[in-house]
A and B are shown apart, each in its own frame.
Chain A
Amino acid sequence: MTDLLITNAKPYGEEAVDLLVRDGVVAEIGTGLTAEGVGTLDAGGHVLLPGLVDLHVHLREPGGEESETIETGSHAAALGGFTAVFAMPNTDPVADTAVVVEHVRRRGEEVGLVDVHPVGAVTTGLRGEKLAELGTMVSSAAQVRMFSDDGRCVNDPLIMRRALEYASALDVVIAQHAEDHRLTGGAQAHEGAIASRLGLAGWPATAEETVIARDVALAREAGAALHVCHVSSLHSIAVLRAAKAQGVRVSAEVTPHHLLLTDGRLTGYDPVNKVNPPLRTGADTQAMREALAEGVIDVVATDHAPHASQYKDTEWAAAKPGMLGLQTALSVVIHTMVEPGLLDWHGVAQVMSERPAEIGNLPDQGRPIAVGEPATFALVDPDAQWTVRGAALASRAANTPYEGMRLPGAVVATVLRGRITARDGKVVA
């Protein structure tokens, strides 16, 4: 069942080869390979990448099943080329106990399309007041390796200090949603010319930058691993660069939408463009692309945030922030990074698979395409073009900001440990 012959695939876009998979592991790589009684995948000369790993998704289960479930989210992930995702804990109930994280993990396994790794809450109820039982979640069946209060910032510096110190002994990473809530009260949009004209309360870039600056100092002193979620402001880049130069164990992610979209889209007040942190300026998107190419930003993570229409088809202020991302992420990265020559396919593999797996502490994801390694792949047709239709995406919700947009690159197939999970735009159950 997990034996597979993949023919005519170009690993990282290089020379076409055949790969023979036995028991989910690459057994042989060569040309003209044959095997009896084994399923085959004709790769059609497309680009083979290690399966994509997303450090930041919201699967909404439990509690938000009207917007997404672990099943529908797994479908979207497989179709987007992902083989592992990290599910954020802002569910209802919050994933701040072993019971909840184990439930998420088990549901992911039952669906079986993508490795679903629950992210545990840093503080109970995401309230930022008291540490959740990190150790219990680490040693639970869910084997939590990342903690975050995402959606909320661990705003209290003392709580953040304790979290980092405590995490350092558990060998887990604290992923911070960097937003000083005192500076973003009522914020609705990037603080700048457009928000001021639209009368939307501003989310200043300084609210992100100052928390990152504080946290890298705390991480340095604690000797802990800090991951910065969804960096959005160009000013944050300098802070991250300096911290990395000092040897602080800090990593950072950028979302596809912060690579492509700007606050210019807000003028019609369509809340599909409402997201936290907000869409910023063209200068910011350009800085994000350069920082990702340079490595100051380590990875792309989607912040896939489904919201049912009743949460989006409202006035701007009432709408929930967030946008779909799993099925469009690779295309946006191709458009913003590969096409302008900022990343090659090795680079894409690094920012969307290898480095995320490393940060998330996943030993069998983001591995090289080589003999003896897990057969976990995304097969990509870089020349394909497609038009995004929210209603056609696998997620329960349809809140894609790319509606009607033509994007390059399509995931032809996704393979998880030798098993095809998606092929030609359809989930293989």
Chain B
Amino acid sequence: MANDRRGDVGEGQPPARELLSSADVARTIARIAHQIIEKTAFGPGNTADLVLLGIPTRGAVLARRLAAAITEFTGVAPAVGSIDATLYRDDLRRGPARALVDTAVPEGGIDGKLVVLVDDVLMSGRTTRAALDALSDEGRPRAVQLAVLVDRGHRELPIRADYVGKNVPTSRAEKILVRLTESDDRDGVLIERPEAKPAEPTVGAAAKPAEPTVDREERG
């Protein structure tokens, strides 16, 4: 997750600006839910096909929220679960061994299904790539789509989201912080601009040095 620049802010960090309020998050999730319904034709009489799989931790929370919203709008509940991509990551060797998190594939599996992968932030695309690999070891879906709350750019792989809550142009040095009440104190999306102190290197930054724009933005 570190390469997607989300995660918790420590104490004493520079103040973060709010991109999405709690109400914005709710609206965004509702909008994505509608888009999924529209695009997949999910509804009474067509429930067998759709599986929402969140990438832990916050992607799994979002998947459950999306499932709840879809249930509210259609009256029927889609299958929902989570898939841990840790064992498929390409950056394991760049840090201490990561703890694994639960994979919960809903009963019925994913073979022949339309799987919507759900994550909170899309950046390099490497987490999505790992999740796709994990998915292919779990079974053979009919098709896979991707839903994200925030797309912040800086892609390093040919990966594109099918559903995007908000596009946020960012510099690599910035941090996007997604907060969800299930795992944090409240809902919201924050952007954090580092002070003069350069951010610690990440997989993305290490693979490709930050563009000069970073400095300009930081000075601005």
Q: Consider the complex of A and B and state whether they touch directly, i.e. have CB atoms less than 8 Å apart.
A: no
Instruction: Please report B residues at the A interface, Cβ cutoff 8 Å.
Output: none
Instruction: Please report A residues at the B interface, Cβ cutoff 8 Å.
Output: none
